[in-house]
């Protein structure tokens, strides 16, 4: 009999989205005449821009003739895509090398798979509430996690505590689920702390394209010293609506080197290359063509248009909450609006209240960690019409 990885027994039952679906289905079965509006989704809804579609088609056509056919691609991704990403960073005044860029099928895989590079015995710091992937992938590997509180007191932006030593630190900014985003000074404190602890920061910048405030960093490498202590994960899922198309990238600076117990200097870039070439054969040429279009002037303008649409939805939601004096976070540099449940309700209690009285579906904060117990997440990824209608219903509810 195989001995199983019993760390899986330590995973909490992931009941968040199935429980939401269960409660919504029960409600609609009992109230078929009521129109339910879903603002709980973490998925985009607008179609891909025409430039991305054109390039995806070009990619398909290239496979149809022997002269342009593509088989296995280059290990880290096609040059045309990696250099487009280097240029994109350059526009934000961050300089990286294309050999530091690894193309993948998304940030979820990479943030999960990166754990392969680290021993079981590490102090892992993860903020609570959090994107559950960071937690579950470490539990699967049998690691202990030290949670740090993100709460109202620290505006959901926890800062380093020098009394705790860490080896690996997860940061997601702008944050899912709270929408909070670190400024440069705050991120600099994390970089300083990581350098002091000889730790590594795993930085998830999946929502960087939602940053409108020019002073906020869109990459951790905008912070001095970060190349010596941080890996950055990004994705075209939210930037370009690639949640179904699948493409992301991870940046591992050559400066990231740590000394092994044998005394040998190990490069994380080289280790990740080895890990990826062993377990992953890359993203299809077709998708990489579509991804490169995202970084073209025309493609990016189309992506910005979709992002703007979601940002306007976010404004409708946050204005509606402001009007009701409901405390909220996010919504400006993020597609998420994270607010305190009115009347001191618990997040599941509020979920039911909102479903039954306004037929609006959101995500209970408790699903992201204990500090989400009294909070609720609405997303701007719905249609304009539904967003307006949902906020009108909420407006009536809290007269």
Ligand X SMILES: *Cc1c(COP(=O)(O)O)cnc(C)c1O
Closest by CA to 224, choosing from 181, 265, 194, 267, is 194
Residue 115 interacts with ligand X (CB under 6 A)?
no
Residue 83 interacts with ligand X (CB under 6 A)?
no
Minimum CB distance to ligand X, residue 201 (Å): 15
Residues 188-227 that bind ligand X (CB under 6 A): 204, 206
Phi/psi of residue 328, nearest 5 degrees: -135, 160
Site track 306-335 with ligand X (rule: CB under 6 A), x = hit: ------------------------------
Task: Please identify which residue in 88, 89, 131, 285 interacts with ligand X, judged by CB under 6 A.
Answer: 131
| Nearer CB in complex with ligand X: 294/394 | 294
Distance of CA 360 to CAs 39, 47, 311, 338, Å? Answer: 7, 23, 19, 15
Q: Can you tell me the distance from the alpha carbon of 182 to that of 229, in angstroms, rounded to the nearest whole number? A: 17
Q: Are the CB atoms for 111 and 202 separated by under 8 Å?
A: yes
Torsion of CA 22, 24, 30, 31, to 10 degrees: -170
| Count of helices and strands (H, E) across the chain | 12, 15
User: At 296, which helix (H) or strand (E)?
Assistant: none
Strand duo 363-364 + 328-330: pairing: unpaired
Task: Please identify which residue in 82, 108, 289, 377 interacts with ligand X, judged by CB under 6 A.
Answer: 108
| Nearer CB in complex with ligand X: 243/267 | 243
| Nearer CB in complex with ligand X: 113/267 | 113
Residue 106 interacts with ligand X (CB under 6 A)?
yes
Residue 176 interacts with ligand X (CB under 6 A)?
yes
Phi/psi of residue 181, nearest 5 degrees: -130, 135
Residue 237 interacts with ligand X (CB under 6 A)?
yes
Residue 243 interacts with ligand X (CB under 6 A)?
yes
Task: Please identify which residue in 172, 230, 317, 360 interacts with ligand X, judged by CB under 6 A.
Answer: 172
| Nearer CB in complex with ligand X: 310/394 | 310
| Nearer CB in complex with ligand X: 358/375 | 375
Closest by CA to 243, choosing from 181, 335, 159, 145, is 335
Residue 114 interacts with ligand X (CB under 6 A)?
no
Which residues here bind ligand X, judged by CB under 6 A? 42, 106-108, 131, 172, 176, 204, 206, 235, 237-238, 243, 248
């Amino acid at each position: 009999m195989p001995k199983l990885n019993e760390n899986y027994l330590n995973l909490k039952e992931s009941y968040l989205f199935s429980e939401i679906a269960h409660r919504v289905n029960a409600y609609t079965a009992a109230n078929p005449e009521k129109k339910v509006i879903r603002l709980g989704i973490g998925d985009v809804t607008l179609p891909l821009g025409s430039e991305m579609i054109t390039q995806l088609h070009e990619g398909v056509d290239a496979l149809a003739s022997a002269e342009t056919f593509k088989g296995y691609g280059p290990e880290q991704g096609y040059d045309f895509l990696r250099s487009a990403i280097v240029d994109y960073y350059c526009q934000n005044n961050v300089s990286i090398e294309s050999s530091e860029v690894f193309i993948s099928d998304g940030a979820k895989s990479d943030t999960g798979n990166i754990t392969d590079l680290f021993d079981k015995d590490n102090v892992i710091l993860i903020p609570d509430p959090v994107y559950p992937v960071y937690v579950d992938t470490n539990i699967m590997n049998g690691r202990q996690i030290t949670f740090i509180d993100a709460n109202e007191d620290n505006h959901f932006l926890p800062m380093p505590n020098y009394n705790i030593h860490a080896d690996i630190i997860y940061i997601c900014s702008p944050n899912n689920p709270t929408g909070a985003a670190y400024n440069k000074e705050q991120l600099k404190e994390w970089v300083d702390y990581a350098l002091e602890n000889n730790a590594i920061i795993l930085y998830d910048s999946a929502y960087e394209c939602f940053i409108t405030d020019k002073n906020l960093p869109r990459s951790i490498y905008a912070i001095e010293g970060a190349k010596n202590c941080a890996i950055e994960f990004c994705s075209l899922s939210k930037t370009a609506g690639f949640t179904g198309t699948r493409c992301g990238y991870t940046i591992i600076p050559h400066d990231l080197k740590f000394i092994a117990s044998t005394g040998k200097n190990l490069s994380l870039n080289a280790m990740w290359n080895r890990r990826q070439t062993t377990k992953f054969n890359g993203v299809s040429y077709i998708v990489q063509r579509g991804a490169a279009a995202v970084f073209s002037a025309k493609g990016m303008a189309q992506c910005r248009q979709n992002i703007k649409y979601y940002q306007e939805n976010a404004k409708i939601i946050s204005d509606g909450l402001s009007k009701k004096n409901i405390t909220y976070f996010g919504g400006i540099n993020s597609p998420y609006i994270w607010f305190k449940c009115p009347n001191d309700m618990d997040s599941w209690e509020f979920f039911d209240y909102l479903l039954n009285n306004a037929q609006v579906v959101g995500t209970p904060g408790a699903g992201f960690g204990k500090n989400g117990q009294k909070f609720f997440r609405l997303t701007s990824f719905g249609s304009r019409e539904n967003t307006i209608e949902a906020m009108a219903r909420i407006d009536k509810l809290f007269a």
